[in-house]
Amino acid sequence: MENQANGLGKVNKKLTSVEKATSTILKNIPVLPSHEEIVLNSLGKTLAKPVTALLSNPPSNVSSMDGYALKNSDIDNGVLEFKVIDESVAGKSSSKTVETMQTVRIFTGAKIPHGADRVILQENINSLGNNLIKINKNNLENNNFFIRKAGMDFKLGEKLIDKGEVLNTRNISLCVASGNSWVTIRRKPKIGIISTGNELLKFGEIQNSKNNDKIISSNDIFLFNFINQLGGEAFILPTAKDDIKSLTNILDEANDLDLIISSGGASVGDYDIVQRALEKNNFELLFWRIAMRPGKPLFFGLLEKIPFLGLPGNPVSTGVCSIIFLTKIIQKFFGRQVSENIAMMRVNCSLDKNDHRKDFIRSKVIKGINNDYIVEPFAKQDSSQISLFAKAQGFIIREPHENKIKKGTKVPVLLISENI
């Protein structure tokens, strides 16, 4: 009955597993092309080629302290008085060669002069006047020569940052210091977002007594921020009404995108028109409906070769499916390692036997008495509850058909990153 109303062809009753869905999606997501970019503009972008040191740091042996550079063999031979023959400052080194019983006044970062192989801290010497110093032997730190060897930090040609890494403030400074003014980065994926639903008001539109059967669309804003936060480039396309023509018109204009995401209308109701509209546009459906809670109506396919992810409209379903699938899609576009941040934590209540769907239980993480982390699922798990989704710090992952779990058992928790 529902299939007839929906108008879709034969529906595969068997739900696709989350793992199969993930591999099908990722097989159809290409790694995007790369280009050269000035490193100053590279914050948050992904390296397509590793960064290699174009110089060594430090470029030569330098002092790590303010003091006096001299021969260690003199110290070994019990020499205590030295003649100061020159000065070596960071950026202005001494060209003199240090002979026995001679020293060069030296400062942090300055090049160690020829002949010297040890620095004595300035607080360990007394000045005798006439360019003579005497070492206060009691304070000598025998095992520290206070020299940073050339290339101690990194050496010319050394691989410093792997491809696939996201450039952050720290590794950009490493690029700069290692002489890399340009880096090879991946192009950002351009991702179009289409919300569907007759009930949707756009951000900024006001709900009033005449339209109180309407709701403010939040999925598009969520997806926009989510994509941008993960380094992609999001475009909110017009909102589609629940009719095929409205969606088809929007799809006709959706050019030059690496991925299209719809929210809503993915299920089997009379007004769930997304797949029917797509079918009219040469759509190749790769799966529909997955063994997952929330997110069962999710589908994925190719629209004229463009990957198309159909998300369910419930905001928590959109959110959880984005965290589970869209994160990996974006990682793949960037050629990054596809990964999830999962930690094992004790659960502070018992959990019933699970059914056939993989469950992602919205939860909060609390500090236990031993400073370990404990996971606490929210009592309510309805997929419409934006307020609880906003508070969640992670999802307890429950495999299909998993047995009852006792309070205190360690369970896998997928941690939601703080900026999502």
Instruction: Tell me which residues touch Mg ion (CB under 5 A).
Output: 197, 264-265, 313
Binding status of residue 266 toward ligand AMP by CB under 6 A: yes
Picked from ligand AMP, Mg ion, none, the partner binding residue 110 (CB below 5 to 8 A depending on kind) is none
Binding status of residue 199 toward ligand AMP by CB under 6 A: yes
**Single-letter residue type at 415:** L
Strand partners, 300: 287, 309
CB of 203 to Mg ion, least distance (A): 18
Binding status of residue 275 toward ligand AMP by CB under 6 A: no
CB of 12 to ligand AMP, least distance (A): 19
Picked from Mg ion, ligand AMP, none, the partner binding residue 314 (CB below 5 to 8 A depending on kind) is ligand AMP
Give the C-alpha separation, 218 to 201, whole Å: 9
Among the listed residues 151, 189, 192, 265, the single contact to ligand AMP using CB under 6 A:
265
Handedness of CA 78, 83, 89, 92 (dihedral sign): negative
CB 395 within 8 A of CB 320: yes
Among the listed residues 34, 263, 322, 331, the single contact to ligand AMP using CB under 6 A:
263
| 378's tokens | 């929210």
Residue by residue, DSSP assigns 274-311 as HHHHHHTTTEEEEEE-BSEES-TT-EEEEETTEEEEEE
Binding status of residue 219 toward ligand AMP by CB under 6 A: yes
Binding status of residue 310 toward ligand AMP by CB under 6 A: no
Picked from ligand AMP, Mg ion, none, the partner binding residue 315 (CB below 5 to 8 A depending on kind) is ligand AMP
Nearest residue to 182 via CA among 172, 197, 169: 172
CB of 248 to Mg ion, least distance (A): 16
Q: Name which of 189 and 265 has its Cβ closer to Mg ion.
A: 265
Binding status of residue 218 toward ligand AMP by CB under 6 A: yes
**Single-letter residue type at 133:** I
The dihedral over CA atoms of 163, 166, 170, 173, expressed in degrees to the nearest 10, equals 60
Picked from Mg ion, ligand AMP, none, the partner binding residue 218 (CB below 5 to 8 A depending on kind) is ligand AMP
CB of 50 to ligand AMP, least distance (A): 40
Give the C-alpha separation, 101 to 82, whole Å: 5
Task: Show the CA angle centred on residue 30, arms to residues 221 and 8, nearest 5°.
Answer: 65
Nearest residue to 18 via CA among 330, 300, 263, 278: 300
Binding status of residue 106 toward ligand AMP by CB under 6 A: no
Judged by CB under 6 A, the stretch of 33-41, 134-142, 193-201, 302-310 that binds ligand AMP is 193-201
Binding status of residue 192 toward ligand AMP by CB under 6 A: no
CB 293 within 8 A of CB 15: no
CB 115 within 8 A of CB 98: yes
Binding status of residue 319 toward ligand AMP by CB under 6 A: no
Chain positions contacting ligand AMP, by CB under 6 A: 195, 197, 199-200, 215, 217-220, 263-267, 312-315
